[in-house]
Amino acid sequence: MIIDWYPGHMKKARQQIIDLLPRIDVFLEVLDARLPASSANPVLERLRSDKPCIKVLNKNDLADQQVTKQWVSALQSQQGVRALPLEARNRAEVNKIIGLCRILAPNRGRPGRSLRVMVVGIPNVGKSTLINTLAGKKIARVGDKPAITTCPQQIDLRNGVLLHDSPGLLWPVMDNPDGASRLAVSGAIGDNALDYVAVALYGLAFMLDRYPRQLRERYKLSEETTDPGEVLESIGRKRGCLVSGGQIDSYRAAEVFLRELRAGTLGRISLEQPDDVAPVDSNDD
């Protein structure tokens, strides 16, 4: 699956990040803990250069704990990077970010020398929720659809830290088929850019390979059911996703599966492991 989806406001967001970077002390990238590599924008990685970076693994409550431990180790092997798994609505977990920022920029955060933190990430990874939790009030708009934040803003946390928010930023063409499919399964890409049934079939094939027990228990499947198409049909019949003549409405069945996978109803699922992904070329020019 190749997805070419780069709205004009994302080009503007990229330039806004470039303009602001010289005044930033710490780069805070919000990732989806279920797919840290696929939800990391390689353009952002190139733009931040050697600035200290915290990679927040948000939605940690939905991810496989053992796989997340592998990701923390892999990410922190990178120069200047700290990785922090959390759930963006959990204030105690989120407050750890401030302490990490002070460690990474020890000469900032004093009167007259605010610690300036840029918060970045692709759409729908929970960036706005994280900002609201840090601020202790609703500042950034939150939604379950991509591209909620559309303009930059500065938030003074009143503790010596200034947050600089920016719109969620995807790269021009997602030409890594597996990475694009993982993003689609996770809900990071708008539904109007997807073949919903194809995305569900990809997700079902993944579940059959990595988490077959959870899939079979949720939908009462037999051990003999190993074909993603058969599983989708079974889900459709069990959930009443039918059209005239008793035929399966594949789109509705796909909606049921993807909604439940994204919500964690099937259990804690990680859509990729460090060994699954190769380094991505960040040259977007």
What is the C-alpha separation between 8 and 20, in angstroms, rounded?
Answer: 19
pTM of the model as a whole: 0.86
Q: What pLDDT digit, counting tens, does each position of 48-98 carry? A: 888 999 999 999 999 999 999 999 999 999 989 999 999 999 999 999 999
| pLDDT at 2 exceeding the cut of 50 | no
Tokens in use for 23? 């005044």
> How far, in whole angstroms, is CA 203 from its chain's centroid?
16
What is the C-alpha separation between 35 and 58, in angstroms, rounded?
Answer: 10
Using DSSP's 3-state secondary structure scheme, residue 219 falls into helix
Beta partners for residue 248, in sequence order: 242
Beta partners for residue 15, in sequence order: none
What is the C-alpha separation between 72 and 31, in angstroms, rounded?
Answer: 12
Tokens in use for 178? 């597996």
Beta partners for residue 154, in sequence order: 164
Q: What pLDDT digit, counting tens, does each position of 91-149 carry? A: 999 999 999 999 999 988 777 789 999 998 887 889 989 999 999 888 765 544 444 44
> How far, in whole angstroms, is CA 84 from its chain's centroid?
14
Q: What is the dihedral of CA 219, 58, 6, 274, to 10 degrees?
A: -80
Amino acid present at 211: Y
Q: What pLDDT digit, counting tens, does each position of 145-200 carry? A: 444 444 457 899 989 999 998 765 655 455 678 888 999 999 888 777 689 999 99
Contacts of 109 (CB under 8 A, 6+ apart): 101, 102, 115, 159, 160, 161
Find the mean pLDDT for residues 22-42: 92
What is the C-alpha separation between 263 and 146, in angstroms, rounded?
Answer: 16
* Secondary structure element (H or E) that encloses residue 17, with its range: helix 8-20
Enumerate domains of the chain plus CATH numbers: 3-173 (3.40.50.300), 195-263 (1.10.1580.10)
* Secondary structure element (H or E) that encloses residue 82, with its range: strand 81-85
Helix axes 177-186, 196-210, angle to 10 degrees: 100
What is the C-alpha separation between 250 and 256, in angstroms, rounded?
Answer: 10
